[in-house]
Amino acid sequence: MNTRIYFLAAIGAALMSGCAGPLDRRWDDPVYRSLQSRYSEHDELAADGQYVVGAEPAFGLDNLDALSIEDALSIEDAIRIAIDHNPSLRAAGYQIDAASGRVVQAGLYPNPSLSFEAEGLGADDGSGGEQAYVIEQEIVLGGKLERARDVAESDRLAARAAFVAQEFAVAGRVTQAYYAGVLAQEVLAMREELAVLSTQLLDAARAKVQAGVATYPDQLRAEVAYEQSQIELDSARFEVVASKQRLASAIGIESPIVLALSSSIDRLPELPSREELMALTLKANSQVALARIAVIRAKQQHALVKSDAVPNLVASVGPRYSDIDDETTVDLGLSLEIPLFDRNQGEIRAALAERLSASAQLQGVQLDLLGEVGQAWSAYESAKSSADRYRVNLLPKAEQTLELTQQAYQSGKVDFLRLLDAQQVVIEARIAYMTTLHTLQTSVALLNEYTQIHTPWRDPRTDDHGQGEVN
């Protein structure tokens, strides 16, 4: 009986010692750490159904910490707020935690099982027959645990690369939305200027009609120009509101943005050459890193399914006590599956095909990115050329025409409608110039998203994109 007590105590100690350690959530990335520390409680409430968009507390520009925003919002502030608040980036961060948990799980050994058997219970002579305590353990062979851990580690690295890719995607969307808002502000200012001029034209036309020096059709033409300017002015006002709402959504805040956008749309960074941009994309882009990790993972998965063909050994041991003979014995058992029919050959073949497919997909990702970089570069060059022509040739000539028309109007050589036409040509040219600059900024944002070389929201120590061994 002492043998049974000792054996049960040993089983309890073995079960207690088999508990896994704490989850390793460390990653030397300041953006990741900041997101996980600041919003874990908020996201836990959301997971429990206790938070919805529009409920309190809301994320807005009036309750953001560590910001010195007074009456205007710069592009740097907008990106910084977005990196700190956009929910898609937090979701990508939690995927790193999920992948880290799977790394831990993949390295755990199978749990032992404990069984009890009793024979001849309740006999008339009072004997209890035989009782057996058996502990059974599956012994993993073929290196399955190590290979499973390698696959899970590749998934963790992929989650980290996806997190970085999401950072640049967020920054790109915010940049495009921000400069769309700047464009809307500029268009509104110009439409307001044209509306003031059209109002002056209408007042002058009515005065001339009353004085008898103009006809009623002249007044109708002035009214048509006035109504057209008001329609365009209303449209510009609505677009400003809509663009700021789109910017708020891109940033990841609920409160509408009421601040002015202070960064100038004609402020452009210096870009490397087309060839350098393509080389940087192939070297640093997270999508390429993800595709490379997928190739490594497919190789590791192939090794894992090959090891699955090796059967595991099942060992059992336990004491058996007989009341009839009043003696205790020990039972031992070993079992091994015979891989006669199922040698995992189908999964091995499938894993090999996935491995070859991952290699082809890596090439496809690289070619697609090169094509997208080339397209963005062409759009950048075209917009830059157009912007230069607007700035150097078209706008100065349009403004000179307006100046001459104003002089002619003051001397009575042209009517007010001709002056309005000249003013409208200048404003439309300015709007076209601003639209070209917006296209230019959009192309720059796309190129930065592809090359991932500009990271103003990160600590200078992590300008390598925080990917470590991902690349």
Question: What is the mean pLDDT of the segment spanning 196-214?
Answer: 87
Hey, which of 9-23, 26-40, 222-236 has the most confident mean pLDDT? Answer: 222-236
Q: What angle do CA 61, 169, 247 make, to 5 degrees?
A: 35
Please state, for a pLDDT cut of 70, what percent of the chain lies above it.
Answer: 80
Query: How much is the pLDDT for 56?
Result: 39
11-25, 69-83, 386-400: least confident range = 11-25
- The pLDDT tens digits for 336-348 are 999 999 999 999 9
209 vs 465, higher pLDDT: 209
Q: Is 85 left (phi over 0), alpha (psi -120 to 50) or beta?
A: alpha
Over 70: is that where the pLDDT of 22 sits? no
116-125, 210-219, 380-389: least confident range = 116-125
Band the pLDDT of 19: cuts 50, 70, 90. very low
- The pLDDT tens digits for 422-469 are 888 999 999 999 999 999 999 999 999 999 888 877 754 343 333 334
Element (H, E) at 296: helix 286-307
31 vs 266, higher pLDDT: 266
**Count of Cβ atoms closer than 10 Å to residue 6 Cβ:** 11
Band the pLDDT of 419: cuts 50, 70, 90. confident
Over 90: is that where the pLDDT of 234 sits? yes
Where do the domains of the chain lie, and which CATH numbers do they carry? 28-108+142-309+344-470 (1.20.1600.10)
Over 90: is that where the pLDDT of 183 sits? yes
By three-state DSSP, how is residue 158 classified? helix
Q: Is the pTM of this model over 0.85?
A: no
The Cα 281–Cα 254 span in angstroms is: 34
Hey, which of 39-53, 326-340, 411-425 has the most confident mean pLDDT? Answer: 326-340
- The pLDDT tens digits for 245-291 are 999 999 988 877 888 888 888 887 788 899 999 999 999 899 999 99
Query: How much is the pLDDT for 213?
Result: 80
**Count of Cβ atoms closer than 10 Å to residue 2 Cβ:** 7
Average pLDDT, the chain: 82
Give, in order, the Cα–Cα distances in Å from 250 to each of 47, 142, 326, 422.
Answer: 22, 49, 79, 38
